[in-house]
Amino acid sequence: MDITTIGIWGGYPNKNEATSSFLIEQDGFRCLIDCGSGVLSAVQNYTELRELDAVIISHYHPDHVADIGVLQHAAMVGMQLKEWNTPLPIYAHDRDTTGFESLSYKGVTEGRALQVSEPIQLGPWEVSFCETVHPVYCLALKFTSNGKSAVFTADTAWKDELVDFAKGADFIAAESNLYEKYVGIIQGHMSGRQAGELATRAGVKQMVLTHLPQYGDIEEILASAKQTFSGAVEFAEIGKTYRI
Ligand SMILES: [Zn+2]
């Protein structure tokens, strides 16, 4: 599978960029993972919007759903021009009723509910879920196919269960929104050290760091991750495709 970085920022995008998002592709099937601010613009560097087969959303904070509305406009225009075969399925949990209902729009996009304990078959992948530790209900995602797996932590503070969830993964996109001094002070996110510890304990082969803060020197976060993880680790690089 090929995983392309669309955006890397937590909370809001840096100028001309996008919040944390990835495009995952295999056997011609394309799924967008999270669709926050700036994502709809940025993802068009790598795919025509009408070539998206699915969207999957980890939770309903704006840095993960802000661009759903404009994606729906694109789908509507595409449908009117008969260039787009819709509805586009948007997968997400339905614990937020208003949020979930907003995923279905005029027959051009269709919300599909995810349950944490029920993996789904999505194109070439089995996708499974793990509830994270975040101020709102949020799901980490694991895409598995042909014995390979890629994990996306979404937004979360440290949680032991994530170690089992990510066990043996070939790739993990780990949120690392916190400088070490904010662990225990800012809730719902991990530091670089914690992301590294997760990758080490889970035996992950390759890690990219995402959902980064706009303030401070983010190189400190990468350095912290390297203290606890000796495998391949870097900031998720915008536009780079990771093949696993
Ligand atoms: Zn977020």
**What are the tens digits of pLDDT across the range 152-167?**
999 999 999 999 999 9
The Cα 157–Cα 135 span in angstroms is: 10
Q: How confident is the model at residue 30, as a pLDDT?
A: 98
Within-domain flag for 242: no
Report the separation in Å between the CA atom of 143 and the middle of ligand 1, taken as the mean of its atom positions. Answer: 20
Within-domain flag for 125: yes
Q: Which residue has the tokens 């670089």?
A: 192
Percent of the chain with pLDDT over 70: 100
DSSP class per residue in 70-113: HHHHHHHHHHHTT----PEEEEEE-SSHHHHHTT-BTTTEEEEE
Residues of the chain with confidence (pLDDT) below 50: none
Query: 180 is written with which tokens?
Result: 């070490």
Within-domain flag for 179: yes
pLDDT digits (tens, 9 = 90+) for 207-239: 999 999 999 999 999 999 999 999 999 999 999
Are 145 and 181 a contacting pair, CB within 8 Å? Answer: no
Q: What is the CATH number of the domain that holds 91?
A: 3.60.15.10
Report the separation in Å between the CA atom of 207 and the middle of ligand 1, taken as the mean of its atom positions. Answer: 18
Q: How confident is the model at residue 194, as a pLDDT?
A: 98
Report the separation in Å between the CA atom of 79 and the middle of ligand 1, taken as the mean of its atom positions. Answer: 30
Report the separation in Å between the CA atom of 211 and the middle of ligand 1, taken as the mean of its atom positions. Answer: 7
Within-domain flag for 244: no
CA-nearest of 40, 41, 37, 45 to 20 is: 37
Percent of the chain with pLDDT over 90: 99
The Cα 3–Cα 25 span in angstroms is: 6
| Strands of the 88-93 sheet, one edge to the other | 109-114, 88-93, 54-56, 29-33, 21-26, 2-7, 241-243
Domain extent for 104: 2-237
Report the separation in Å between the CA atom of 81 and the middle of ligand 1, taken as the mean of its atom positions. Answer: 34
Count the domains in the chain: 1
Are 240 and 213 a contacting pair, CB within 8 Å? Answer: no
Report the separation in Å between the CA atom of 63 and the middle of ligand 1, taken as the mean of its atom positions. Answer: 5
Within-domain flag for 79: yes
Report the separation in Å between the CA atom of 239 and the middle of ligand 1, taken as the mean of its atom positions. Answer: 20
Report the separation in Å between the CA atom of 212 and the middle of ligand 1, taken as the mean of its atom positions. Answer: 9
Within-domain flag for 243: no
Within-domain flag for 202: yes
| Strands of the 148-152 sheet, one edge to the other | 120-122, 125-131, 139-145, 148-152, 171-175, 206-210, 232-235
Within-domain flag for 23: yes
Q: How confident is the model at residue 86, as a pLDDT?
A: 83
Q: How confident is the model at residue 157, as a pLDDT?
A: 98
Q: How confident is the model at residue 85, as a pLDDT?
A: 81
